[in-house]
Amino acid sequence: MKQLAAVALAALLASCAPAFTAAPPGRVVNAATGQEGTVTFAPGSLRPGLPATGADNVALSIGGQTYMGRATVLDGSLADASAPLSLSVAVGGTAGTGGTTFGWGARLGPAPQPQGTLRAGSLIARTAGPGAAGTGPRTLTCTLTVDDAGRGFGECRDEAGVRYVLQF
């Protein structure tokens, strides 16, 4: 009986624990060759404000190479300094037994921005072993744009200047 109660208590506590599941792998594509691979972020690694140091929190696999590295997302939002202006004009009137009224208004200001916040981030990853012809580890340096839900896109360059694109 005690064992059954212990199992029931453990199941109850486990159901209350927060669930941290990894996001499904994203895509990485070599822009020159079209070769595709995967990018996998550790759970919680795309939250803003995490320190830039610590254990690797991302793995990229492409072309038989596995890159391990660290992604960091900034705490602020991306702001477009050249936000377009919008002009709103309204005209209206009413007529009734009590008389007529007429009104108008105009507003010039920044255009409405979409809901949600986009954040900038970076990613630096490297291979563990030597690259082609024993040239040493290969590296990728990337810029990221991430939304509130941890989805986003990015662009990377390797040590030879080859461009890669990310979608996650």
Q: Tell me the C-alpha distance between 61 and 39, whole Å.
A: 7
Q: What is the share, in percent, of the chain residues with pLDDT greater than 70? A: 69
What does each C-alpha distance from 4 to 15, 16, 100 come to in angstroms? Answer: 17, 19, 79
Report if residue 28 sits inside a domain. yes
What is the token pair recorded at 26? 């994203």
- Quick one: pLDDT at residue 7? 46
Please say whether the beta carbons of 73 and 146 come within 8 A: yes
- Structure-token match 């200047």, residue found: 161
- Quick one: pLDDT at residue 152? 96
Report if residue 33 sits inside a domain. yes
Report if residue 9 sits inside a domain. no
* Main-chain phi, psi angles of 133, to 5 degrees: 60, 30
Report if residue 42 sits inside a domain. yes
Report if residue 104 sits inside a domain. no
pLDDT over 50 at 112, yes or no: yes
> Which amino acid is located at 85 in the chain?
L
Report if residue 158 sits inside a domain. yes
**Residue 10 DSSP code:** H
Domain that holds residue 158: 24-78+119-167
pLDDT over 90 at 3, yes or no: no
pLDDT one-digit tens code per residue, 124-151: 999 987 655 667 789 999 999 999 899 9
pLDDT one-digit tens code per residue, 12-53: 445 554 444 556 899 999 999 999 999 999 998 998 877 777
Report if residue 45 sits inside a domain. yes
Instruction: Tell me how many domains the chain contains.
Output: 1
**DSSP state string for 72-140:** EE-SS----TTPPEEEEEEEEEEEETTEEEEEEEEEEEEPPPPSS--EEEEEEEEESS--GGG----EE
3-state secondary structure of 6: helix
Report if residue 95 sits inside a domain. no
Q: How confident is the model at residue 70 (pLDDT cuts 50, 70, 90)?
A: very high
